[in-house]
Amino acid sequence: MKFLNHLTLGQYIPADSPVHRLDPRCKILSVVLLLAGIFMMKHPVAFIAWGIFLLFLSRFSRIPFRVVIQGARPVIILVLFTAGIHLFLTRGITLWEWGPLSVTKEGVGMAFRMGLRLSFLVLFAGFLTLTTSPMELSDGLESLFRPFQRFGFPAHEMAMMMTIALRFIPTLFDETDRILRAQLARGADLDHGGILRRMKAFIPVLVPLFVIVFQRAEDLAQAMEARCYRGGTGRSRMNPLRWKRTDTFAMAGTLVIVAIFVLMDLGA
């Protein structure tokens, strides 16, 4: 019996692929470009082109397509909801009417477009976390945000916070699982009764969890202090990021692909 299933959103799948080997900064910037491109897609042909690109990317980064699709599971409800809203609330030529609800031809188009756009956003963004380890990711973000440090943006602290948070997600899942079992063993009934009762039933799980989180935070702070951590200034790193020629190629390639897709879309 498993009480908690680990999140699939934001999971890293280690593999040896050209995409995995890219500099995290290159991947972050490419994803930003791709997402901007997806926001602009309108024409059905563009959707097909993006879909093919998705398949290609999955092949190229040695991530099974099934895993890529799984990453979008948590947002399915959001996608369906958005599509539903557009389906019913877009004005135009009425196709079908039922009471106050009406479906228009434009609505169907809009629903498809928005639904696919959202799914593609999540799927493409998923490649970033699927092919980049959390460590690399936060290193990349830190490095990209460093120029803003002079305006008072705490780039290093943000990256450190992110690393710590990501590091502790699995730990806390395990802790929650253990506390859950302990309270079940004491007769806690978590899946009966109304929503209010059920929420109340979770108090015996949440309180110990918070206690443990604070305890862990304190221990971690002490351990970091004991190792003379003083923030980002003057801190060197074991694996400094290195921008390689392949990264420039990948970046240029992404730019060209997005440009072609967008132009194709505008032309069609």
Identify which of residues 186 and 230 has a Cβ nearer to another protein in the complex. Answer: 186
Q: Does 213 bind another protein (CB under 8 A)?
A: no
The one-character DSSP state at 11 is: -
Q: In the complex, what is the shortest distance from the CB of residue 185 to another protein, in angstroms, rounded to a whole number?
A: 4
Q: Distance between CA atoms of 244 and 163, rounded to whole angstroms? A: 24
Q: Counting contacts by CB under 8 A, is residue 207 touching another protein?
A: yes
Q: Tell me if 38 sits within 8 A of 124, measured CB to CB.
A: yes
Per CB under 8 A, the segment of 40-48, 103-111, 202-210, 244-252 that binds another protein is 202-210
Q: Is 62 in the site for another protein (CB under 8 A)?
A: no
What is the DSSP code (8-state) at residue 228? T
CB 247 within 8 A of CB 191: no
Minimum Å gap between C-beta 67 and another protein is 13
Cβ within 8 Å of residue 90, ≥6 positions away: 104, 106, 107, 110, 111
The reply to whether 178 sits near another protein by the rule CB under 8 A is yes
R_g (Cα) of the chain, nearest Å: 23
**At its nearest, how many Å lie between another protein and the CB of residue 191?**
10
**Shortest reach from residue 203's CB to another protein, in Å:** 7
Collapsing DSSP to helix, strand or coil, 217 comes out as helix
Decide: is 183 part of the binding site for another protein (CB under 8 A).
yes
101's enclosing H/E stretch is strand 101-104
- Strand 94-98 versus strand 101-104 pairing type: antiparallel
Closest distance between another protein and the C-beta of residue 188, in Å?
A: 6
| 211 near another protein (CB under 8 A) | yes
Which residues sit at the interface with another protein, rule CB under 8 A? Answer: 1, 175, 178-179, 181-189, 203-208, 211-212
